[in-house]
Amino acid sequence: MKRLFIALLALLAAFYAGAQTKRYTNHNEFSVITYGPAFLESGFGLHTYHGLQFHENISLGLNTGLDRYPVNGEGSKWFLPLSAKVNYVEFPDRKRSFFAGLDLGYGFAFLNKNISEKNLKYEYQGGVLVNSQLGWRFKFKNSAKYWSLAAGYRYQQYSRKDSYIPPSASLPDTDPWYGKTQIDKKYDLHRFTLQIGVGF
């Protein structure tokens, strides 16, 4: 995780260092996040990408937003994603063009409420985020702005730490950690996504 943060900080430094000579680009998307094409128990995502055009076909930048995932037996889980993203556009000057994007980052889980009952405690932690997409973008007439349609794959990892302390631990002269049980549950969310967006 530390290496990932160092890589993101290095990207941020390079982003600002190149901002004087590279063209800024922006892409904002709404995503449907689902188990598959049946759209059962669908979640959603709101994402904003801020990048620099390092080549006429390629831009590199940072992507962030908000994600909601339905998880079987666990209800809805919320994440604040932060990722490095590379975008490729095949024909940037044409009215219609194929494009592809790849994100690598981290999904923060602090938006989920940690549960603390009398003897039971749940704590959520985020994890690695990977997202890929393929799609088409369509320029508005006489404008550099465009709208886009895309589909992709999204992987989000997170964990929940369950701690149980038996009532006997609260008795006088008893070690408060006596009989404590701790279980780390790891979750790997694999999702299909559909996105619609606007950008320039």
Q: Which residues pair with 77 in a beta bridge?
A: 69
171 falls in which pLDDT band (50, 70, 90)? Answer: very low
- Per-residue model confidence as pLDDT tens digits over 144-159: 899 999 999 999 999 9
Q: What is the pLDDT of residue 38?
A: 65
Shortest CA distance to 162 belongs to which of 184, 141, 178? Answer: 184
- Per-residue model confidence as pLDDT tens digits over 7-19: 666 665 665 565 5
pTM above 0.95, yes or no: no
Shortest CA distance to 11 belongs to which of 106, 118, 97? Answer: 106
CB atoms within 10 A of CB 55: 11
H or E element that contains 15: helix 2-17
Shortest CA distance to 18 belongs to which of 55, 49, 63, 48? Answer: 55
